[in-house]
Amino acid sequence: MRFTGRVAIVTGAGGGIGRATAARLAAEGARLVLVDWAAEGLAETVAQLPAGTDVMSAPLDVSQEDQVQSLVERVMERFGQIDVLCNNAGISGSGYPPIDQQDRDEWARLLDVNLIGPMLLSKHVAPSMKARRQGAIVNTASVAGLRSGAGGNAYSASKAALINLTMTCACDLGEWNVRVNAVCPGLVETGMTRRVFEAAREQGKGHKLGSRCELRRYGRPEEVAAAIAFLASDDASFITGQALPVDGGNTASLNLPGMKV
């Protein structure tokens, strides 16, 4: 029960890693503020939480500062504090077009959601965390932000930038005992990666999913949520400015095409 009495905002909570994170934090006693732009997904997440969970849900677009500021004001009115921020909301884009086929509008939208969104949430929760001299922010980046081959150009660039934002924010907020870290999931089956899994299974290659990970399997949202909960908890009290791969060992090797059988 590491989060008893604590208030946690989880964005992208309408499914996948965000939903799993909400469930994990609730199971450990957190009071929750769940955010997603899909109201239906949010309702499904709320319905799956343990009975008695103190939860507030808010459909919004994390890239719109007026909506983010309004959310934080409402959270402070209701709970009076914000202890944890999990910036999980993200989008993947249309696929893997080469650089000479990139679409500027898609880049703008990916950066808006994957980078500007976490920046805005962090900006508006930071004052309350600094005032209480405690808090933890955990950003969901990706192994795509660490090396190529795990995502398209725009997605990878947005996650690399989010990792750097994690480090710079950690430097900004450390003297107030506010920690900022990131998790970098590898291949995990979620709504965002569903097309990858479906395509592999349709081609009879489902058994190869995760084969390039050292654990020889893909991950589950709950496994990423466990890492997020650790970084958000006092168990990680001396960890800040770090990007933790949760990828079955995928980034521990060269992982070049054809190198593993």
Please list the active-site residues. Answer: 155
- Distance CA(111)–CA(176), nearest Å, equals 28
Q: Strand 55-59: give its sheet, edge to edge.
A: 55-59, 31-36, 7-11, 84-87, 135-140, 178-185, 243-246
Report residue 93: phi and psi, to 5°: 90, -170
Distance CA 47, CA 216 (A): 33
How far CA 117 is from CA of 11, 54, 189, in Å, comes to 9, 25, 23
In the 8-state DSSP scheme, what is residue 188?
Answer: B
Contact (Cβ atoms closer than 8 angstroms) between residue 135 and residue 89: no
User: Cα–Cα distance between 36 and 251 in angstroms, integer?
Assistant: 29
